[in-house]
Amino acid sequence: MVDSIRSIDCQVIVGLDIGDKFSTIIVLNPDGEILDEGRVRTTAEALTARFQGLPRARVAIEVGTHSPWVWKLLEECGHEVLVANSRKLRLIYQNDKKSDKVDAEYLARLARFDPKLLSPIQHRGLETQQDIAVVRARDTLVKTRTVLINTIRGSVKSIGERIPSSSAHNFHKKIADSIPQELRPALTPLLETIEEVTTRIHALDNRIEELCETKYPQTKALMSVTGVGPLTALAYALVIGNPARFKKGRDVGPYLGLVPRRQESGDLQPQLRITKSGDKLMRRLLVGSAHYILGPLNQGDSDLRRHGEAIAGRGGKNAKKRAAVAVARKLAVLLHRLWVSGEEYEPLRNSKRRARTKRQTPAQAPAPR
C-alpha cells in the first residue's frame, strides 16, 4: 500500500477547502507529512498566484458554488484536480471537530490514500453550463410565479372571497376582474409581475426549443417518448452530458438519485426512501413526466404505464408515489438507451417480446402421477 501511495504522479498533495471569501490550504508530501498550510482569498488572481508557485500537485476540492471555475483554473495551472462529491464525505460533514483546516487536511489525506474515496465528479464545460442555465432560469421563474399566484389566492381567501380556477399561464388574464376592489391596490402590482414573468417563461421556452433543434439533435429521439417534452429532453441531454460514461443504462437511475437507499445489516433489509442524489431539477422533471404517463390525460398504452400501474395496484402506503418514482427510473434508463442506440421508440416493445416468447415456449406436459 505504501508503494502505491508513493507512486502518485505528483510531487505534493493539496487539500483546498473553498470558502466564499477565503479558502484554506493544506499541502502534504507523498509520505503524508504537512509541508505547508494557510489561507488564500477565493479569487482567480489570488489562487493563480498561489498555485502557480507549486510543483505539480494533486488537488482535492469539494463540489460547490465556486468549484467549477476553481477546478478549471487549477487545471490550467497544470495540476490534477479531484472534485469530491460532498454527499459521500461523512468523514467531513459529520465531523464533531469540523473546521476549515480539518476539512482541507481530510481532503488532502483522502486524495493521497485513494482518490476513489472522494467519489470524484466531472464538472460540465462552460458551454454546457451556459445552456443549462437557461433551464434553471426557467425553473426559477416558474417557482416565482407560483409564489405570486398563491399570494393572490391567499389574500383573496382571507376576506371570504375566492379566485376562479385557472392555469398559471393564463392566470393574469382570467382573474383580473375577480380581485375584490379593496385588494386591488395591493394585488394589482403582483398581477402585473405575473404577466411579466409569464412572458419571460414563454421566451425561455422558445429558447429551449431552439437549443433542442440547433445544438442538441439527440433530444428529438428523447421527445418521441410520451410525456417527454423539450424541457425534459434538453435537461436530460445537458445533465447526462456524455452517455458513454455509463457502462450500463441502469446506472443512470442511481446517478439521478431515483433508487432506494440501502442500510442492510444481517437479516435486516429495511425499505428506505430514494437517495435523492444527483441533479434535483432533472429528478423532478422525470417524476413529472412519470405522473403524466400514469395520469388520465395520457390515453396511450406503454410498458412504462403498465409498469407503474402494476406497482400502484399492489396498494399500500404511498403506492402511487412509489409507482411514479419507479416509472421515472425506468424512463431515465429508456432515454439513455434511445440516445445510445438510436433506435425508434416502441411503447410496447417489452410487452410484445414477452408475448412472443410465451407463444414460442411449448406447453409443459402434465407431471406423471
| 240 phi, psi to nearest 5 deg | -70, -40
The pLDDT, as a whole number, for residue 39 is 95
Report the pLDDT averaged over residues 115-133: 89
What is the pTM assigned to this prediction? 0.83
The pLDDT, as a whole number, for residue 93 is 62
CA dihedral 306, 311, 315, 317 (to 10 degrees): -140
Q: Report the C-alpha gap between 228 and 223 in whole angstroms.
A: 5
pLDDT above 70 covers a percentage of the chain that reads 91
DSSP-derived 3-state class of residue 45: helix
Cβ burial, residue 17 (10 Å; 0-12/13-18/19+): buried
Q: Report the C-alpha gap between 152 and 183 in whole angstroms.
A: 9
What does the pLDDT look like over 163-202, one tens digit per residue? Answer: 999 999 999 999 999 999 999 999 999 999 999 999 999 9
Q: Report the C-alpha gap between 303 and 321 in whole angstroms.
A: 18
What does the pLDDT look like over 330-358, one tens digit per residue? Answer: 999 999 999 999 999 999 998 888 888 88
- DSSP-derived secondary structure letter, 159: T
Instruction: Name which of 102-111, 192-201, 208-217 the model is least confident about.
Output: 102-111
What is the full DSSP assignment across 275-293? ---S-HHHHHHHHHHHHHH
- What is the number of residues in the chain? 369
The pLDDT, as a whole number, for residue 364 is 55
Q: Report the C-alpha gap between 314 and 319 in whole angstroms.
A: 7
Cell numbers given for 368: 406423471
The answer to whether 241 and 220 have CB atoms below 8 angstroms apart is no
The answer to whether 45 and 61 have CB atoms below 8 angstroms apart is no
Cell numbers given for 29: 508530501
What does the pLDDT look like over 246-290, one tens digit per residue? Answer: 989 999 999 999 998 766 556 655 667 888 888 999 999 999 999
Q: Report the C-alpha gap between 330 and 309 in whole angstroms.
A: 13
Q: Report the C-alpha gap between 239 and 273 in whole angstroms.
A: 23
How far from each other are the two terminal CA atoms of the chain, in whole angstroms? 64
- E-strand ranges in the chain read 12-17, 22-28, 34-41, 57-62, 80-84
What does the pLDDT look like over 34-83, one tens digit per residue? Answer: 999 999 999 999 999 999 988 899 999 999 999 999 999 999 999 999 99
- The pairing of beta strand 57-62 with beta strand 80-84: parallel
Q: Report the C-alpha gap between 67 and 64 in whole angstroms.
A: 5
The pLDDT, as a whole number, for residue 3 is 37
Q: Report the C-alpha gap between 286 and 299 in whole angstroms.
A: 19
Q: Report the C-alpha gap between 230 and 209 in whole angstroms.
A: 6
The answer to whether 49 and 24 have CB atoms below 8 angstroms apart is no
At 5, is the pLDDT very low, low, confident or very high (cuts 50, 70, 90)? very low
Cβ burial, residue 118 (10 Å; 0-12/13-18/19+): buried
Q: Report the C-alpha gap between 220 and 267 in whole angstroms.
A: 46
